[in-house]
A and B are shown apart, each in its own frame.
Chain A
Amino acid sequence: MIDVKHIAKLARLGLGKDEEKKFEKELEAILDFVEKLNEAKTEGAEPTAQITGAINVSREDKTEPLWENPEIKKDILANAPAKEGKFFRVKRVLE
């Protein structure tokens, strides 16, 4: 049984009271559906994360010029619900 309340909190999603039951039913049905994977014989298969075979693509440790553009910086910050000067304003993280 999936503990929807716990998962929702891990996922930082608020749920209404009657929503817990609804999502529990739906998520159980999807998990039943994906159970099928247990039938697949995967011995000897390496996991695939990047399908083109790219591994650890690195770049120089320099800021991309795009992010130095003052207009873009201003526009990015303009989308923030709360800001102070050139910073995002966040509620206290540590009590």
Chain B
Amino acid sequence: MSLNKLTITKAADGLRKKQFSSLELTEAVFSQIKKTDEEIGAFLLLAEEEAQNQAKEIDKKLARGEKLGGIAGIPAAIKDNILVKGLKCTAGSKILENYLAPYDATVVSKLKEAGAVIIGKTNMDEFAMGSSTENSAFKKTKNPQDLSCVPGGSSGGSAAAVAANETIFALGSDTGGSIRQPAAFCGVVGLKPTYGAVSRFGLMAMASSLDQIGPLTKSVEDSQIVFDAIYGKDRLDSTSVASKFQNPADIGNLRIGLPKEYFAQGLEPEVEKSVRSAIEKFSDSGAKIKEISLPFSEYALACYYIIMPSEVSANLARYDGIKYGLSKERDNLLNVYLASRQEGFGDEVRRRVMLGTYTLSAGYYDAYYLKAQKVRTLIKRDFEKAFREVDLIMTPTSPTPAFKLGEKIEDPIKMYLSDIYTVPMNLAGLPALSLPCGRAVRGSGSAEPGGSSGGLPISLQIIGPQWSEPKIFSAALYFEKKFNGLTS
């Protein structure tokens, strides 16, 4: 088996047993990138020399017999809105085309301390705004499962890199589904942690009350390994919180809720069939499955499209042509702002900045922003109520498999609707994990649960209360074992 195809668990095992070195593992990943990334376009920047040096350091430590953690010597790709000291960090935007990160994000410091080998920066929708990665100012990324399809977004580069075995794992960020939806489209595992579990320091802020960094991996176990390496309260992010994790689940006693609002109009029949049959697998071991209701779900996307742009309009005010990035020389300061931001920002970013400016402006604040904040409370309460009856909630990650490149780019609202099942968890601050549960051949109507041959991936989303990551992981591990049993 080629080294670049390994999971973290298997690669770490091989390193420990000295079957190969971190340098060999790193070189296997780069040779795959050279073979496939011209077509896939997952990476914006490669740090081959730095990565080789990092890998050699780890190999020396291994040779000295030092005891190293699970991700030591393992190649990692980082979404390009997360700072890695000394590397360009563009967030997929022309306005930051030449921005050099002066320091490491906390997650990157943590990965480096744990010995991970950072191989490069991945493509994304500009400032993480989009669901297809088509809003990148630099390139389009293609879905490795079907090159005519989008990889999802906004962490499309990270998801595609993992799916194409161009890295062992990747980090992404998730504001309304930006880790889970691309993970689903590319057939990998994606986790959005509990809000506040992972430090946002060094993540370019999009919507600060919603953003979380999380792993994209080839397996559930890998997801847990990376999450364990990056969570924790950080004094550099005052919204990060000391963890108070729940216990793992006992599948035999697990109560699973299926929200009827998520199995409704707009859900593709073959996605529904595949996800329902995945959830059935849990009852084999005695888990109780029941239908629940989250009545405020129908307002979640509208609520998100007020809160998120409002925060975006404030956060993106910093890109003004003065402190960093693209700057247009004009006769006065106002015109410097206007021209730099006109040229530096793409259409979707400008749409959201204007929308947020409008909803926060005098006379409209109460009707839009305050109203949305109240609805946010009610969405949170919906989940709290549901979690008194069930331990976990399971839904599809996305109503459809990956769509075609160009299919939705001209219609913002159509694009927004692809996040309908992922946005509510960000509003409620809940952890949620997406993992593959089947394949669909679009249009044929033939779901093939557990099938691995051809077709686009379909994914199951597992949602829990705040700090229920261990519970989510244990349920996902259980399913992954069953699912792999079917496919192998």
Measured CB to CB, the residues of A under 8 A from B are 2, 4, 7-16, 23, 26-27, 29-31, 33-40, 42, 45-52, 54, 57, 59, 64, 66, 72, 75-76, 78-82, 88, 90-93, 95
B307, chain A: closest CB distance, angstroms:
9
Known: A10-B357, A57-B238, A79-B324. A47 touches B102 (CB 8 A): no
Report the Cα distance A45→B374, complex, angstroms: 6
Complex A-B: 12 CB contacts under 8 Å: A7-B361, A8-B354, A11-B353, A13-B342, A13-B354, A15-B342, A23-B351, A45-B374, A47-B370, A48-B374, A51-B429, A80-B322
- In chain B between 425 and 444, which residues have their CB closer than 8 angstroms to a CB of chain A? 427-429
Q: Are A14 and B341 in contact (CB under 8 A)?
A: yes
Report the Cα distance A16→B345, complex, angstroms: 13
Q: Which of B114-122, B150-158, B329-337 contacts A (4 or more CB under 8 A)?
A: B329-337
Q: Are B354 and A7 in contact (CB under 8 A)?
A: yes
What band does the interface of chain B fall in when counting residues whose beta carbon is under 8 Å from A?
A: 35 or more
Report the Cα distance A48→B332, complex, angstroms: 40
Q: Are A12 and B337 in contact (CB under 8 A)?
A: yes
- In chain B between 317 and 351, which residues have their CB closer than 8 angstroms to a CB of chain A? 317, 320-327, 332-334, 336-339, 341-343, 345, 350-351
Q: Are B350 and A66 in contact (CB under 8 A)?
A: no
Q: Are B351 and A27 in contact (CB under 8 A)?
A: yes
The closest CB in chain B to the CB of A12 belongs to B337
Q: Are B375 and A27 in contact (CB under 8 A)?
A: no
Q: Which of B140-148, B250-258, B296-304, B456-464 contacts A (4 or more CB under 8 A)?
A: B296-304
Report the Cα distance A34→B238, complex, angstroms: 31
Contact of B103 with A by CB under 8 A: yes
Q: Are A54 and B322 in contact (CB under 8 A)?
A: no
A residues in contact with B374, CB < 8 Å: 42, 45-48
Q: Are A88 and B100 in contact (CB under 8 A)?
A: no
Choose from B102, B236, B332, B355 the contact partner of A64 (Cβ within 8 Å). Answer: B236
A residues in contact with B373, CB < 8 Å: 47-49
Q: Are B368 and A34 in contact (CB under 8 A)?
A: yes
